[in-house]
Structure 1
């Protein structure tokens, strides 16, 4: 399992885990576009925080409409989940269309489907217009259902959502799947970081009068009124004034509404090398269970080979014990070897990523509250690349005064009901979160026994009620320790052995084990150092 060294990804600046995604093979960190830190006060029309697919796409659409934009990112561009995706764009939402119709009604479902089809077309248009070499490939997708599901009803539901011009086609058999399957055409795969970096280079090279980007610039706070928004930058004596503020991020800043309206999951990916002659000529995705796989291919430096990417399995962030992380990769490997015997024995890349799953399977896109000039894109529900492109269209329309046909469906001020209970989502999660925060999360291990390149959360005084310490031992056997409480809601952290981070079971915040740096919200500050080694590492992360 390839892991980043501190020299290539210091403080998890380039990606939010210590395992690299497959995309760095053809787009290494050294070739990424780099931007400066913000060091002076600014005034602009629209500020966007979050330089992933949602933020970059929104910046592009606004600049094309003549709007001045400042894009901010707390680490490097595309260092969040966009760069750790599987590069698939499809018109499915991780649940059956029958269920989507029941949840949202047929008219809203048609708008949902229409917006996802738009996302695929728009990404293709941009890649072509800007001449971005990102391996954009249109492919059909084979969607598998569980044996107990009625295939004919799902095909009927999809056809109702898609309309008569895009009817689903039933298939008798699909390679690498023994479930009931139907096919939809014109889905796509792309190289996510090449695509997004291509947009950034275009904006920087051709629209420097309207576009600027600043990295390692974390928004600490903001205050809006009817005339504009004042934005405070963490650790800097500078601020930004803007007419509009867009939070294009997994978890918007200081927003209990979205924190409680979403759930936070880890999902897993592997990339095996297979002969190009055996490559799938379609995408495969399964709606069979929470372990349903999505399979696609990516280009390989050897023209005779391709990477077979398999994504599958998920669990709530920090809700499993450390011995249950690796079995998720083992399940993916078993599936690959069963269906592709010629695949290399050990995957060349194995990594995980985070999903922000809204309770009604739709992203929150639009004004944070009716009438405000603060906007959000969050709640990707596992289809983040699609929603980034969809969100860019909706927000660029709203900011420029254009009515958007999808804005009511994705209304960011809505309060979704639970899929299972007739309650608001806040009430559904509350008891579970309280119980999880009270669990004994401490590892029963002495620091001396901790293996190198490993972390643990222990009690400072070795009692159940002692202050938790998040301890990491590096490859040289030297330890550093931070306070083991999330800086957001003070949940006791848990060690993530896959990505070598400390994760929070309450709302999914994640922290780099080497520096304590926050790499996933809602926390907006790093862990508090508890010894000199940790203080030195934390200071270094600020200077990066």
Structure 2
């Protein structure tokens, strides 16, 4: 079982927010309390709007609290990938938009005095075997006149070739979001935790956001949930849901090189950074990705990452291991804006692993759209766009993958097991009375039994043995062992089942 993320170790006394238990009315209802939702709330309240933030669990502890804390103006998929799909002007504007978001984060840290270890750092990109990716990146950077330097021979890690982008940044993302949430005007913004949204109903002049115990009536609603909730197939069919893992190990000193390090080791990309707070010093490595619900052994991915950090660096005890989720857009750009042309619902999704930057950028774009103001980046990320030439290959790949998983699971009969054959701490999909059920046996021997069909689109969930969750291989919904939604497009829990 994975431990908590490193960032959560330093959020020891976060502000607690109530559960929504009565109907309310606001200008804007925001679904999700991560960096996207909290930043959007902060921007809108400063502009005079009343806001309600509805977080299903705890503010900042979802995707934001499981990210790297790295901030950079190039994209995770690299400039060369972006340049392969878009012209020079578009690539430059993407870089400008990301730079503006990074500067907004820095401005908020200073403005609100947020203690989150923000610092400007360089980004290093290097390979240990060949220099094909580096050469492509050098070419792309030169074409848009983006400043970089090639790595010197005294670079501390083994590398064949590499480059450095100066003036990027790092912080503790969880402390940042908690600090930003605490700074928001409480007269204009109410934040609710443990408040899961069950449905959203858009009407002519308002949006009704239905939670477990109450209804929020709003002029507008913002889906700040990393992926839109519900059957928003125009987005889910163009997004690939992925999980990757993070590990943190103790460092004996602060002498480890500072900066963001993206290393390609035998074509596997790892994100590496150090982090210090007080007398605690850590090295963090993130990587080992796979499609959600499609790993044969999730724990093996974590073990591979632990082995990597121990083989490549001088580290002490492994103190933290965690997983994180991201959604990769087929055309490499996120979807930010109105769900459809005249919709009262706004979407912010498809951030890949760049959610800290894109979540911040989304806040300004969406706030401008609420005010019916022009935003110079809105056309780049228009949520209702359709770019078949730029997304066709990945669109087909992702949907063939989803169809394959659905058909494979359709023919799966389930393990022919008696409940007592499932060892404590393990799980299995079994069939009873023609129905597939997901069974988890707790360490004390008790059983938790739920439907094995995802409540989003009825794909069969798969067991994640690293995080003890049921993960959907189609569109990335995840459920805990009681069937409750952890993340993803699913609104509703897996129904509980009884086996005699």
TM-score > 0.5, shorter chain as reference: yes
Could you tell me which residue of structure 2 aligns to residue 508 of structure 1? Answer: 476
Cα distance, 1:230 vs. partner?
2.3
1:218 aligns with 2:196: yes
Q: Which of residues 364, 368, 382 in structure 2 aligns to 1:393? A: 364
> Any idea what the Cα deviations from partners look like across 1:49-69, whole Å, max 9, x if unmatched?
111110001111111122211
Q: Which of residues 339, 350, 374 in structure 1 aligns to 2:321? A: 350
Q: Which of residues 401, 424, 429 in structure 2 aligns to 1:432? A: 401
Deviates more, 1:221-230 or 1:367-376: 221-230
1:321 aligns with 2:296: yes
- Give the TM-score normalised by structure 2: 0.93
Please give the alpha-carbon distance, in whole angstroms, between the structure 2 residues aligned to 1:262 and 1:153.
25
> Any idea what the Cα deviations from partners look like across 1:307-351, whole Å, max 9, x if unmatched?
1000012110111213xx23322332233223323x11x411111
Please give the alpha-carbon distance, in whole angstroms, between the structure 1 residues aligned to 2:266 and 2:375.
34
Aligned length: 494
Could you tell me which residue of structure 2 aligns to residue 172 of structure 1? Answer: 152
Could you tell me which residue of structure 2 aligns to residue 488 of structure 1? Answer: 456
Please give the alpha-carbon distance, in whole angstroms, between the structure 1 residues aligned to 2:393 and 2:305.
35
Could you tell me which residue of structure 2 aligns to residue 9 of structure 1? Answer: none
Residues 418 and 424 in structure 1, CA contact (< 8 A), matched pair in contact too:
no
Secondary structure of the residue aligned to 1:266 is strand
> Any idea what the Cα deviations from partners look like across 1:483-540, whole Å, max 9, x if unmatched?
1111111111111001000111111111001x2101112111111111299xxxxxxx
Cα distance, 1:140 vs. partner?
0.5
Residues 416 and 431 in structure 2, CA contact (< 8 A), matched pair in contact too:
no
Could you tell me which residue of structure 1 aligns to residue 384 of structure 2? Answer: 413
1:297 aligns with 2:265: no
Secondary structure of the residue aligned to 2:251 is strand
1:525 aligns with 2:492: yes
1:198 aligns with 2:197: no
Q: Which of residues 224, 244, 253 in structure 2 aligns to 1:276? A: 253
Q: 1:150 to 1:283 in 2, by over 3 A?
A: closer
> Any idea what the Cα deviations from partners look like across 1:57-89, whole Å, max 9, x if unmatched?
111111112221111112221232111111111
Please give the alpha-carbon distance, in whole angstroms, between the structure 1 residues aligned to 2:392 and 2:351.
23
Cα distance, 1:36 vs. partner?
1.4
Cα distance, 1:460 vs. partner?
2.4
Cα distance, 1:150 vs. partner?
6.0
Residues 415 and 424 in structure 1, CA contact (< 8 A), matched pair in contact too:
no
Please give the alpha-carbon distance, in whole angstroms, between the structure 1 residues aligned to 2:237 and 2:357.
23
Residues 245 and 288 in structure 2, CA contact (< 8 A), matched pair in contact too:
yes
Please give the alpha-carbon distance, in whole angstroms, between the structure 2 residues aligned to 1:290 and 1:215.
41
> Any idea what the Cα deviations from partners look like across 1:186-215, whole Å, max 9, x if unmatched?
111111111101011111xxx222111122
Residues 226 and 372 in structure 1, CA contact (< 8 A), matched pair in contact too:
no
Q: 1:245 to 1:100 in 2, by over 3 A?
A: same
Structure 2: segments with no counterpart, 5+ residues: none
Could you tell me which residue of structure 1 aligns to residue 443 of structure 2? Answer: 475
Please give the alpha-carbon distance, in whole angstroms, between the structure 2 residues aligned to 1:250 and 1:150.
29
Could you tell me which residue of structure 2 aligns to residue 538 of structure 1? Answer: none
1:309 aligns with 2:291: no
Please give the alpha-carbon distance, in whole angstroms, between the structure 2 residues aligned to 1:330 and 1:214.
36
Residues 338 and 345 in structure 2, CA contact (< 8 A), matched pair in contact too:
yes
Please give the alpha-carbon distance, in whole angstroms, between the structure 1 residues aligned to 2:192 and 2:133.
51
Please give the alpha-carbon distance, in whole angstroms, between the structure 1 residues aligned to 2:392 and 2:8.
44
State the Cα RMSD in Å: 2.2
Could you tell me which residue of structure 2 aligns to residue 459 of structure 1? Answer: 431
Please give the alpha-carbon distance, in whole angstroms, between the structure 2 residues aligned to 1:352 and 1:497.
12
Secondary structure of the residue aligned to 1:278 is coil
Cα distance, 1:290 vs. partner?
6.8
Residues 137 and 189 in structure 1, CA contact (< 8 A), matched pair in contact too:
yes
> Any idea what the Cα deviations from partners look like across 1:154-177, whole Å, max 9, x if unmatched?
22312433x4xx511111343234
Q: 1:468 to 1:370 in 2, by over 3 A?
A: same
Please give the alpha-carbon distance, in whole angstroms, between the structure 2 residues aligned to 1:447 and 1:176.
51
Cα distance, 1:353 vs. partner?
1.0
1:61 aligns with 2:43: yes
What are the equivalent positions in structure 2 for 1:73-152 lying under 5 Å apart? 73-145=55-127, 147-149=130-132, 151-152=134-135
